[in-house]
Chain A
Amino acid sequence: MFDRRLLENFDWGLTIITFLIGIVGLGVLYSAVNAGDPGGAMHLFFQKQMIWITGSVVIVLLSLFIPYKLFDRGSFIAYLICVGLLIAVLIFGKYVAGSRRWLALGPFTMQPSELMKLSLIFVLASVYSGIISEYGLPFKYLIKPALLLFFPFLLIVLQPDLGTALLLLFIATSITLFVKVKKSVFFSCAVIAVAAIPLAWGFALKDYQKERVLTFLDPDRDPLGAGYHIIQSKIAIGSGMLSGKGFLKGTQNALAFLPEHHTDFILSVLAEEWGLLGCCVLLFLYFMLLLWGLNISYCCRDMFGSILAFGITIMIFWQIFINIGMVMGLLPVVGVPLPLISYGGSSVVTNMIGIGVLLNISMRRFVKV
């Protein structure tokens, strides 16, 4: 049943890159959670992260036995399940720090919005692979994908989790542009989007909502909240200078300064302790990972696999770009974790499954369709 050729074609390159990023991630997390208490016991967060990584490696290995073509047929069901989970989270979700994002499943809590990213990519790949055309898609073919994006987008905005919602929008838009739309469609959509912003600003939004959006765009408007995080993050990154202060030697990541230092702001710990050199190494590893993903998309023999590989690669790209841009004060502060490095079960599992799918596509690149 399991073709020996598949084993021969196993993508060792992608595995090694992922493994290296994972090692960097665990090292930084160790430093982040043991700050100020080196030599202390293994921190609970660190142990949990190890468990999640190990668990997702097992899931990935098992999933490799399933030919990815089956995901094509199952994608819509997975999508519906994820939408159901998003509705459930609004009703039963755990209320943490002003929003409902987590769903309790026995001893675990999960963030359905993370899984939603994957299932949206699957369902879009499935839809687009049937209609893709070299001349670009006309408007009527975009209605279905737009609806597929709209429902989860709305449900996630309601949580409220603007960061993940925007991420979903970016991923869907990227995939759509990748499969190509007609020029006229592209420009008219762009015009509508640009025109809609001032309209929404003028009529739909209340004053306090505007204030929230402005603070979101410009953290300095809230110097006691997001603005404070950003300045602390910038101090941490900048103070790393060329070669960093050394492993476990960071002073800025003490709890008092960065409340999210093991999750969304973990890059500032790496930058402080390993300096510009460390940051370059990480950027290089990420870049290799993305190139590898695009290459898998190219080598794949069928459209579903190509679009799927592209979608997963672009999902990882957007997370990297938004997270790093955010901690360096280039982009608004949104809760987007750094793939494979930030602490957090849902994020680890989602990204690992994504990599597993890439491996899956890659090892079947010579299989006749």
Chain B
Amino acid sequence: MKNPDREWLKKRLMNSTVIILASFSVLLLRFVYLQVVEGDEYRRLSENNCIRLQSIPASRGLIYDRNGTLLADNIPSFDLKIVLQDAKPVDETIQKLADFTSIPVEELMERVDSGKKVSIYKPLLLKRNITRDQLAVVEAHAFDLPGVKVDVELMRKYIYKKSAAHLIGYLGEINSQEIENNTYPDVKSGDSIGRYGAEKSFEDILRGKRGGRQIEVDASGSLVRVINTVNPLPGKNILLTIDSKLQQTIESIMEDKTGAVVAIDPSNGDVLAMVSVPSFDLNDFIGGISNDKWKSLISNPDKPIANKAIQGEYPPASTYKIVTAIAALEEGVVDIHTTHFCPGYYKYGNREYRCWKKSGHGRVNIVKALEKSCDVFFYRTGEAVGVDTLAKYAIGCGLGKVTNIELANERPGLIPTGAWKKKRFGTPWQGGETLSVAIGQGFNLTTPLQMAALLAAIGNNGTIYRPRILKSIQEYNEAIDIHKELKPEISGGLPASSQTLELVKEGLLNVVESEGGTARKIRIQGIDIAGKTGTAQVFTLKKSDRDSKRKFARHLRDHAWFVCYAPAQNPVIAVAIIIEHGEHGSTAAAPVASEVIRAWLEIKGMLPSIKK
């Protein structure tokens, strides 16, 4: 190694100096080019600060039903805007604008004052969605209104207003917190994002990407030329799984009731209809809902905003006997030959647990017990199975947990166990509570969606599909539309053998199709329906008071359940219905189910022509 001497160092430093000098010459030449050669042009451009950025909104994906019927559309909204820099004198311009459009001058000035803090060069929104008349006067007097312009933005229109409101959902303006956290990329203040239903769940699919252009404007803010454009990327259209005709038929049947109806295709988990009543008008939410309307919605005791199909947690009542039956058969506690005698009550400890039929059902086996909904039979099988084993089967059947449908705020319901009660109340499980749970009247809670999914799984012989509302996504590819069909997802299988399922299915079929069934009145000629009624107590009464409760106020009356699938042999629809305070499942809920099935078979062209 030879240590470098000073001559060597000098040579290398000279090289560096040359490189630095060359680099600085490049910079200097560039200054000369920009400031001398092109200086005049840039000076001109700077005079009026006339290069502006203009945003081009991206159209939001449309929402269709499964057949391509449009549910959520985009329509133009004429938004009145002002660029303060171009609008001088601002006070005078605003006064004129108020005179022309008869928008109160105070309202306009309020917007102007808030906008001054942001930027005087950027368009400031004065009023969204002005009328066509207002648009006409603004355009006619454009010369008198410097800096004032009308931008066409797109806004939602929900074609069927209240129909499927909970499923479709609505938009709401993004808040400053979300902008700060960058929750949604490419979203700017003033933009709207999905807040409820499919609009929220599929936000990333539906929302496009904003474009924009660099424009040169003259002193009055009018466009001189477009320098550069980035085209917006439109959002993708989606097809929901619902059938809007079926949905509307159910909505008209349920119109003056409170409750929910869910219809599922047992072969893939498609939600064919999801009704929650009372509903609300989605169009009220466009551009922000008024305070009065919002207050009246949230103060309504029937909770129109809640989607009862996924958020309503109800005691499953006798529909839960399906689970008890599966557990008992699988655990070997009962078989087809096991019978119990029902005298109308079951004595447990020092307490009498009543059957709903005072006179009793006599000797019944499991199929008959399902058909007649005999409480005593299920008290005894439930007692033999035990609460924790029962819970294991209930969870296996998809209860007590969310179904993972693509909707926010789904409730899991509740399947009690001994450990749960100890944790929740600090007291041990009582044997008698098992009896209540076995007939669905204890602590257990289920949602209509869970019950519909369970019936669908029984109908298709044991496959639990994840209920879904998104059928396909429309991709844009050159000029051709491609529908990306989504595959159904299997989320599990029923914890039941085929023999068990056969017995349960026979029982459910007899509920409607046998002379002794609890829902025999809802038959459709030529179609076998299998189902189960339920009457859920809202208010725990002494059993002896049961008969007197018709006198009670509406809010103390029982909820009516009916769950079913049809046709029994090869079902195309599974339905769960809850009618709040509808009292008896067999009289209030079951007839609705019959109409739902009839409507769907008619739509599918499967309804047999009836010969008299």
Q: Which residues of A contact B (CB under 8 A)?
A: 98, 131-135, 178, 180, 220, 222-224, 227-228, 231-232, 234-242, 251-252, 254-257, 271-272, 275-276, 279-280, 283, 286-287, 290-291, 294, 297-298, 303, 306, 310, 314, 317, 321, 324-325, 328, 330
Contact = CB atoms under 8 A, between A and B. Distances in A.
Contacts of B36: 241-242, 276
A275 B121 CA distance: 25
B49 interface: yes
Given A232-B51, A239-B42, A257-B49, A227 B12 contact: no
Interface residues of B, number: 51
Contacts of B214: 223-224, 227-228, 231
Contacts of A294: 13, 16-17
A131 B1 CA distance: 8
A271 B36 CA distance: 12
A276 B32 contact: yes
Nearest to A294: B13
Contacts of A252: 46, 49
| Chain A interface, DSSP helix/strand/loop, else mixed | helix
A256 B212 CA distance: 16
B13 A298 contact: yes
Contacts of A256: 49, 119-122
| Chain B interface, DSSP helix/strand/loop, else mixed | helix
B27 A283 contact: yes
A224 B39 contact: no
B477 interface: no
B39 A317 contact: no
22 contacts: A131-B1, A134-B5, A222-B230, A223-B227, A223-B229, A224-B230, A227-B214, A227-B228, A235-B42, A236-B46, A237-B35, A238-B34, A241-B40, A242-B36, A251-B46, A254-B49, A256-B49, A272-B46, A276-B32, A291-B17, A328-B30, A328-B31
A328 B24 CA distance: 13
B10 A298 contact: yes
A238 B35 contact: yes
B13 A234 contact: no
Interface string B108-151: 00000000000111100000000000000000000000000000
A133 B43 contact: no
Contacts of B227: 223, 231
Nearest to A275: B35
B336 interface: no
Contact of A237 (B6, B16, B31, B121): B31
Interface of B: 1-6, 8-10, 12-13, 16-17, 20-21, 23-24, 26-28, 30-32, 34-36, 38-43, 45-47, 49, 51, 53, 119-122, 182, 211-214, 227-230
A234 B521 CA distance: 82
B3 to A, nearest CB: 7
B13 A297 contact: yes
Contacts of B21: 287
Given A131-B1, A241-B39, A298-B9, 18 more contacts: A98-B182, A133-B3, A134-B8, A178-B16, A220-B228, A227-B214, A228-B53, A237-B35, A238-B42, A251-B49, A254-B49, A255-B119, A256-B120, A276-B35, A279-B31, A298-B6, A310-B16, A330-B26
B20 A287 contact: yes
A183 to B, nearest CB: 15
Contacts of A275: 35
B42 A287 contact: no
Contact of B27 (A98, A236, A257, A321): A321
A222 B10 CA distance: 45
Contacts of A222: 230
Contacts of A238: 34-35, 38-39, 41-43, 46
Given A135-B2, A227-B228, A242-B35, A235 B27 contact: no
A18 B46 CA distance: 32
Contacts of A325: 26-27, 30
A290 B41 CA distance: 34
B24 A283 contact: yes
Contacts of A324: 27
Contact of B31 (A235, A271, A287): A271
A239 B39 contact: yes
B39 A310 contact: no
A239 B45 contact: yes
A303 B6 CA distance: 10
Contacts of A135: 2
Contacts of A328: 27, 30-31, 34
Closest 6 pairs between A and B when the two form their complex, measured CB to CB: A238-B42, A239-B46, A223-B228, A241-B39, A256-B121, A224-B212
A310 B3 CA distance: 18
B20 A241 contact: no
A310 B13 contact: yes
Contacts of B213: 223
Contacts of A228: 53, 214
A287 B24 contact: yes
A178 B12 contact: yes
